[in-house]
A and B are shown apart, each in its own frame.
Chain A
């Protein structure tokens, strides 16, 4: 460190001893970012912000929450009625969970569409799937805390999934419960884990970002950055774009919190838990519905559980299932088509997961489940053999005119001016 890098001498003094400012400057300011990112690249920062919102509201909620089966429901009602701004904090936390999943699912499908999971970003992708799993565990246990009917029966059904494991299944379930049914020990440990898992997520998010900054962001045309002319510094270009995205997101989020706070919830969860009576129609939160549909589609207990977890496991190995070296769907006409089929399939699974498991819904769930696995295990490995991809541009700055998008023409014209 020959000459001081920052104008402020105090900053320099600190940075010499703890290079935190160099680090921030490197990763958040001059960090070279592809210049052609579209709005789908906003969802990463939105996910990070939502995680912070969840942690902040969660910590203040836990100052007023009582993790005991006799008091939990009432303590949440007290938060809603008596605690100053308690209703707001709880509605932010409750809707925040749904928005977190909306943001993360869009973020994931962005990755699928633009091939962001391909080399050299495999570990980045795997860490992302791990974050999804941790989020699911966290949200599941959080939903148990208010100790309503859906909390109780959701917890019962989901923990019972483990009883499908041969030989040790029953012992595992007893161990998870700390008793012979979902009861006070279960609520206590779920609260403890619900409190701590988000901080584990923060840790994995940091690893996710380290892996991201190794090679930088992928981009809509999916080719590597070739030099300085292909990038712009993160600040101010993407900081301002992320902030703009955040203001749009915050508007929608606030509309939900203030005008439709219970739209994504289930009314039965405002009935205190009753271990003697199962509600007539139990459904998980919307963000679990596609997986729930897969669980119910398989007419065998162990099979259903395996397929449900398998639906996430295929995502872990996705970088090795898709053998095409072209990343972006823009140059893969067939993959693009199948991508949209997959989107429709996932939405269909979500719908079917909310319907009763009878008649036509069972048949459709089975078809949709079969197609989900068919996409990942058969279509993706075979596709490169039959697909003729479009020619790739030479670089991000000089796209060839033959691509279907006229964006390249526009860019070329701008450059002439």
Chain B
């Protein structure tokens, strides 16, 4: 009868114990993941259709707001002066340096996700009577972020420029967002 605990037995038991814990942990994690992942956007939410917008009627100096993925998208037909001021801006003074050319497909139209990059409010500046902030573009009233004619952050707590959604020009005046 050899039922004494030899060092070999102890090693075997340690191995069994560690592998049981490890397997248990993997099993638990693979059960927890579905519980967490169900909170991520569902397939139908991801499949939300794209939006087409006709810019024919949009005069110089006017802006419209359309909805895309539940968020406002700003489209502005910029004036000559606005384009010039957006282009002349030196990158040195910018918090999130980007040239105007990097931010537009057709310099007449600037297309932006109308959500402040600070904490998500909708900035003012789309309507003619709105406060537009110190740089003439958009102004977020929630905590005071100022954006320029290119939607770049210039002053206030927002860390980055207004986001540019995915979009393409289907013709000169028809764009598809998404």
Q: Return chain B residues, CB-CB under 8 Å to A278.
A: 121-122, 141-142
Interface residues of B in 30-61 (CB under 8 A from A): 36, 39-42, 45
- With contacts A176-B39, A180-B41, A278-B142 taken as known, whether A160 is within 8 angstroms of B71 at the C-beta atoms is no
User: Interface 1/0s, chain A 283-318, versus B by CB < 8 A?
Assistant: 000000000000010011110100000000000000
Contact A276 B142 (CB under 8 A): no
**Residue B69, interface by CB 8 Å:** yes
Q: Which B-chain residue is minimally distant from A299 (CB atoms)?
A: B157
A66 at interface, CB cutoff 8 A: no
Min CB gap A177→B, angstroms: 8
Q: Are A183 and B70 in contact (CB under 8 A)?
A: yes
Given the interface pairs A160-B120, A161-B119, the reply to whether A282 lies near B159 with Cβ below 8 Å is: no
Q: 1/0 per residue A253-295: CB within 8 Å of B? A: 0000000000000000000000111101110000000000000
CB interface residues, B 97-139, toward A, < 8 Å = 115, 118-122
Interface of chain A residues 182 through 236 with chain B (CB within 8 A): 183, 185, 189
Contact pattern, B 138-154, Cβ under 8 Å of A = 1, otherwise 0: 00011110000000000
Q: Find out whether the CB atom of B159 lies under 8 angstroms from the CB atom of A301.
A: yes
CB nearest neighbor in A for B70 = A181
Query: Within the complex, which residue of B36, B72, B121 is in contact with A157, where a contact is CB–CB below 8 Å?
Result: B121
Nearest chain A CB to B128's CB is how many angstroms away?
Answer: 16
Chain B residues within 8 Å of chain A by Cβ, number: 25
Residues of B near A302 (CB, < 8 A) are 159
Contact present for B45 and A185 (CB under 8 Å): yes
Contact with A along B67-82 (1 / 0, CB 8 A): 1011110000000000
Which residues of chain A from 333 to 360 have a CB within 8 Å of any chain B CB? Answer: 357-358
Give chain B residues whose Cβ lies under 8 Å from the Cβ of A280.
141
**Would you call A156 and B119 a contact (CB within 8 A)?**
yes
The secondary structure that dominates the B interface is loop
Question: A299–B122 Cα gap in the complex (Å)?
Answer: 19
Do A276 and B143 form a contact, CB below 8 Å, given A178-B42, A180-B41? no
Interface residues on A, range: 20 to 34
Say yes or no: is A140 at the interface (Cβ < 8 Å to chain B). Answer: no
A178 touches B40 (CB 8 A): yes
Whether B65 is near chain A, meaning CB under 8 Å from some CB there, is yes
Q: How far is the CB of A170 from chain B (nearest CB, A)?
A: 10
A19 within 8 A of B: no
Interface check A147, CB cutoff 8 A: no
Residue of B nearest to A275 (CB): B70
A174, A277, A304: the one contacting B41 at CB < 8 Å is A174
Q: Would A178 and B122 count as touching, CB distance under 8 A?
A: no
A153 within 8 A of B: yes
Interface string of B3-20 (1 = CB under 8 A from A): 000000000000000000
CA distance A180 to B120 in the complex (A): 11
Partner of A178, one of B41, B141, B144, B158: B41
The one of B39, B118, B119, B159 in contact with A175, judged by C-beta atoms closer than 8 angstroms, is B39
Asked if A174 and B40 make an inter-chain contact with CB atoms under 8 angstroms apart, the answer reads yes
Residues of chain A within 8 A (CB-CB) of B158 are: 301
Interchain residue pairs with CB less than 8 A apart (14)? A157-B119, A160-B118, A174-B41, A177-B41, A178-B39, A179-B45, A180-B41, A180-B69, A181-B70, A275-B70, A278-B142, A300-B157, A302-B159, A357-B143
Give B contacts to A, CB under 8 Å. Answer: 36, 39-42, 45, 65, 67, 69-72, 115, 118-122, 141-144, 157-159
Beyond the given A157-B121, A159-B120, A175-B40, please list 9 additional residue pairs across the A-B interface where CB-CB is below 8 A. Answer: A156-B119, A156-B121, A157-B120, A176-B39, A181-B69, A185-B39, A276-B122, A278-B122, A301-B158
